[in-house]
Protein backbone atom coordinates (compact mmCIF):
# COMPACT_ATOMS: atom_id res chain seq x y z
CA UNK A 1 0.00 0.00 0.00
CA UNK A 2 1.20 3.51 -0.73
CA UNK A 3 1.93 6.36 1.65
CA UNK A 4 -0.40 9.30 2.23
CA UNK A 5 0.61 12.45 0.34
CA UNK A 6 -0.35 15.84 1.79
CA UNK A 7 -2.62 17.63 -0.71
CA UNK A 8 -1.15 21.01 0.22
CA UNK A 9 2.38 19.78 -0.60
CA UNK A 10 1.74 17.70 -3.75
CA UNK A 11 -1.71 17.98 -5.33
CA UNK A 12 -3.12 14.86 -6.98
CA UNK A 13 -3.10 14.50 -10.77
CA UNK A 14 -6.15 15.99 -12.47
CA UNK A 15 -8.73 13.43 -13.65
CA UNK A 16 -6.94 10.42 -12.05
CA UNK A 17 -8.91 8.20 -9.70
CA UNK A 18 -7.27 8.38 -6.27
CA UNK A 19 -7.84 7.44 -2.64
CA UNK A 20 -8.46 10.45 -0.38
CA UNK A 21 -8.40 10.91 3.38
CA UNK A 22 -11.38 13.05 4.40
CA UNK A 23 -10.96 14.90 7.70
CA UNK A 24 -13.65 16.80 9.62
CA UNK A 25 -12.99 20.47 10.38
CA UNK A 26 -14.02 20.12 14.04
CA UNK A 27 -17.34 21.94 13.72
CA UNK A 28 -19.23 18.75 14.65
CA UNK A 29 -17.67 16.98 17.67
CA UNK A 30 -17.02 13.24 17.48
CA UNK A 31 -16.53 12.87 13.72
CA UNK A 32 -13.58 10.73 12.69
CA UNK A 33 -11.41 10.86 9.56
CA UNK A 34 -12.68 8.72 6.68
CA UNK A 35 -11.31 7.32 3.42
CA UNK A 36 -12.97 7.47 0.01
CA UNK A 37 -12.26 7.15 -3.70
CA UNK A 38 -12.21 10.44 -5.59
CA UNK A 39 -11.32 12.31 -8.74
CA UNK A 40 -10.23 15.95 -9.00
CA UNK A 41 -11.22 18.17 -11.90
CA UNK A 42 -9.31 20.97 -13.63
CA UNK A 43 -10.87 23.53 -11.25
CA UNK A 44 -9.62 21.67 -8.16
CA UNK A 45 -13.03 20.28 -7.19
CA UNK A 46 -13.10 16.77 -5.70
CA UNK A 47 -15.74 14.28 -6.71
CA UNK A 48 -15.99 11.43 -4.22
CA UNK A 49 -17.82 8.12 -4.33
CA UNK A 50 -19.81 9.15 -1.23
CA UNK A 51 -21.46 12.50 -0.51
CA UNK A 52 -19.75 14.12 2.49
CA UNK A 53 -21.02 16.78 4.84
CA UNK A 54 -19.51 20.20 4.18
CA UNK A 55 -17.38 19.85 7.32
CA UNK A 56 -15.29 17.09 5.65
CA UNK A 57 -12.36 18.15 3.48
CA UNK A 58 -9.75 16.04 1.63
CA UNK A 59 -6.35 16.45 3.30
CA UNK A 60 -4.23 13.60 1.89
CA UNK A 61 -4.26 11.33 -1.13
CA UNK A 62 -2.57 8.27 -2.60
CA UNK A 63 -2.69 6.57 -5.99
CA UNK A 64 -5.09 3.69 -6.49
CA UNK A 65 -3.41 0.31 -6.11
CA UNK A 66 -3.57 -1.63 -9.33
CA UNK A 67 -3.28 -5.43 -9.48
CA UNK A 68 -0.15 -7.05 -10.85
CA UNK A 69 -1.34 -8.53 -14.13
CA UNK A 70 1.71 -10.76 -14.67
Tell whether the model's pLDDT for residue 2 goes beyond 90. Answer: no
Residue 57 maps to a domain = no
Cα–Cα distance, 38 to 54 (Å, whole number)? 16
Q: Is 49 among the domain residues?
A: no
**Residue 53: inside a domain:** no
- On whether residue 24 sits in a domain, the answer given is yes
Residues in the chain: 70
Sign of CA dihedral 13, 14, 17, 22: positive
Proportion of the chain above pLDDT 90, given as a percent: 79
| pLDDT per position as a tens digit, 32-63 | 999 999 999 999 899 999 999 899 999 999 99
**What domain count does the chain have?**
1
Could you tell me if residue 61 is inside a domain? no
pLDDT > 70: what percent of the chain? 97
pTM, two decimals, is 0.84
Helix (H) or strand (E) holding 36: strand 34-40
Domain ranges, residue 10: 1-40
DSSP state of 65: P
Amino acid sequence: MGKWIDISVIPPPVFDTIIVRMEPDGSIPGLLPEVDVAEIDIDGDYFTFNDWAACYKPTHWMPMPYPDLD
